[in-house]
Amino acid sequence: MNIKIGKRQLELKNVLIGALFFLITAFVFYLYSISFSLLALMFILFVYLNFFRRTDNLPSLLDLSILAVIAILIPVITTQFQVSGYGIAAIGLAILITLLFENLELSFVYSLFISFLAGEVSDRSYSVAISLLISSILASLLSFRVRRRFQVIQAGFLAGIAQFLIAYIIEAKSSFVFFSALDLRLLWICLGAGFLSSIIVLGVLPIFESIFKVLTNISLLELSDFSHPLMRRLILEAPGTYQHSLVMANLSEAAAESIGANSLLVRVGAYYHDIGKLVKPHYFVENLVNYKDVHKNLKPSMSKLIILNHVKDGVELAKKHHLNPQIINFIKQHHGKSLVYYFYHRAKEVDPSQKHEEEYKYLGPKPQSKETAIVSLADSVEAISRTVSEPNPARIEEMVRKVVRKRFIEGELDESNLTLKDLEKITQSFIRMLNATFHTRVNYPKDDSRRNKD
């Protein structure tokens, strides 16, 4: 059973999960005499996130509930150990959510909730709530799309300094004492909360990546290392596919940056999108040995099976090597439900009386995100660019626009959330990158003097 609200549709089990979560939360709030206005705030924020601001990288209702439980437990458990409210790890939670989902709005929402909850359990301290809120928002901004572990620690440390300054100013103002002696205890608490929570986040990050089935930029950088077994095999067994993937990765990364998508995820997705070709590498044109067409003596139906199966084979290889589902999505979706045109036309020539179109289509699904759609477009553009005779800027632009237009008209981009403005930016990026790839070179003069000496 599904419940529809506007453009959103939730399964009944998710609605029940959300209801159960709020009942448990209400009971916890009752036990600790926490204001129920905070529960109302959380409910409003949940409704806002789920029904009015649904984005590609927003977690499910169950995941949102898990995050909310963590946001509740951090202040409640911290105060049980008689730790100052300023020591509640709101900064750590903000960094964790930002790293996991790359969604500043989501991070701000949870920062708002945990900060006011921390103020509530700290004898309704206005100073604790405001200082935690501002410092956790700053931590989110500083840790957004970082690629190095040191940047995470730096974000926690700077946010801790900001928390101390805000708390110190508010405390001084409330007691009418300005420019008083530095409160070293408050300084160490705030710095410790920011610095230590950022280190803890780095330690628990792999656990939460597994729970939420997401990839952070830090893990993506590890996957981009060509020493990965699948990358090593691709280099040695399917060098043509490897080169194709490298060019695709450059095209995709530039296009992702042009529209504000996750460029590192796109690059790594492009590296792994064709690993299924490792099963039968010489049946793919880029890996042909001595340019011998191995499909020449095969029936179109047999060739079609080999081509279509590289997606299924890729998914199986990815699962065998425990790749994250986000990377597997690139393998599944990079062809969408498009047609294997070459063998489709050969089948029509062999038996024109039959309708072969559905039989020669990839199983999909269509690209479900901006990132997978970019890789799908780059795959087609890169492959067709190799067939352009005497490439020049005009021919390259015509080719790119034709490919993008065709994928759009066929409905392959319908589920990707790409706008027409995004598509134009992606097209311009592809054109610019391909023009740089196919640029002409100056003919160097021959060294006649050297030849005469020889």
Tens digit of each residue's pLDDT, the chain (454 residues): 444 444 344 456 666 666 666 677 667 666 666 666 666 666 666 666 666 555 556 777 778 878 888 888 898 888 888 888 899 999 999 999 999 998 888 899 899 889 988 888 888 888 999 999 999 999 999 999 898 999 999 999 999 999 999 998 887 765 545 445 557 888 999 999 999 999 999 999 999 999 888 999 999 998 998 999 999 999 999 999 999 999 999 999 999 999 999 999 999 999 999 999 999 999 998 887 666 778 888 888 899 999 999 999 999 999 999 999 999 999 999 999 999 888 888 888 888 777 778 889 999 899 999 999 999 999 999 999 988 888 889 999 999 999 999 999 999 999 998 999 999 999 999 999 999 887 655 565 665 555 555 4
Q: Which pLDDT score is estimated for 143?
A: 95
Give the number of C-alpha atoms closer than 13 A to the C-alpha of residue 371, restricted to the C-beta side: 21
CA 184 to chain centroid: 41
- What is the C-alpha separation between 81 and 160, in angstroms, rounded? 20
Round to whole Å and give the CA distance between 140 and 104.
7
Would you kindly state where each structural domain of the chain is located, as residue ranges?
2-212, 217-437
Return the number of other C-beta atoms located less than 10 Å from residue 20's C-beta: 11
Does this model's pTM top 0.85? no
Supply 107's token pair: 């991070």
From the number of C-beta atoms within 10 Å of its C-beta (0-12, 13-18, 19+), residue 289 rates as exposed
How many angstroms separate the CA atoms of 253 and 265, rounded?
9
Q: Which CATH number fits domain 217-437: 1.10.3470, 1.10.1200, 3.30.360, 1.10.3210?
A: 1.10.3210
Task: Identify the pLDDT of residue 13.
Answer: 61
pLDDT tens-place string over residues 23-72: 776 676 666 666 666 666 666 666 666 665 555 567 777 788 788 888 88
348 vs 402: CA distance, rounded Å: 24
2 Cβ contact partners less than 8 Å away, ≥ 6 residues apart: 9, 10, 11, 12
- The sign of the torsion formed by the CA atoms of 432, 433, 437, 442 equals positive
Residue with tokens 């080719």: 399
